Amino acid sequence: MTQETDELTRAFPNVWCPNCGKVQPMKIAVMKANDRNDHDAADILCGECKFVVATLHAEPATQFA
Ligand SMILES: [Zn+2]
């Protein structure tokens, strides 16, 4: 987890979960780039029910090559 993400989750540790219908502790699951994904991605999950509230996508690595 990057320092920026760390600071962000410290400042905003919770997320609105539409599945639970209330604010819940946030979990972030980072998925590294692989054969199917050309860029890193991160799921923002509800800490209670694991509902994926949002998926964050990095810029494709090839853009910087
Ligand atoms: Zn939930």
Q: How remote is the CA of residue 8 from the centroid of ligand 1, in Å?
A: 20
Q: Which residues contact residue 40 at a Cβ distance below 8 angstroms, ignoring those fewer than 6 apart?
A: 30, 31, 32, 33, 57, 58
* Confidence at residue 3, expressed as pLDDT on a 0 to 100 scale: 75
Domain edges within the chain: 3-55
User: In order along the chain (65 residues), what is the average pLDDT of each group of 10 residues?
Assistant: 76 96 95 90 96 93 56
pLDDT at 62 (0 to 100): 63
Ligand 1 mean position to 7 CA, how many Å? 23
Per-residue pLDDT at 65: 47
The confidence score (pLDDT) of residue 4 equals 74
> What pTM does this model have?
0.74
CB burial of residue 17 (10 Å; 0-12, 13-18, 19+):
buried
pLDDT of residue 64: 53
Confidence at residue 63, expressed as pLDDT on a 0 to 100 scale: 53
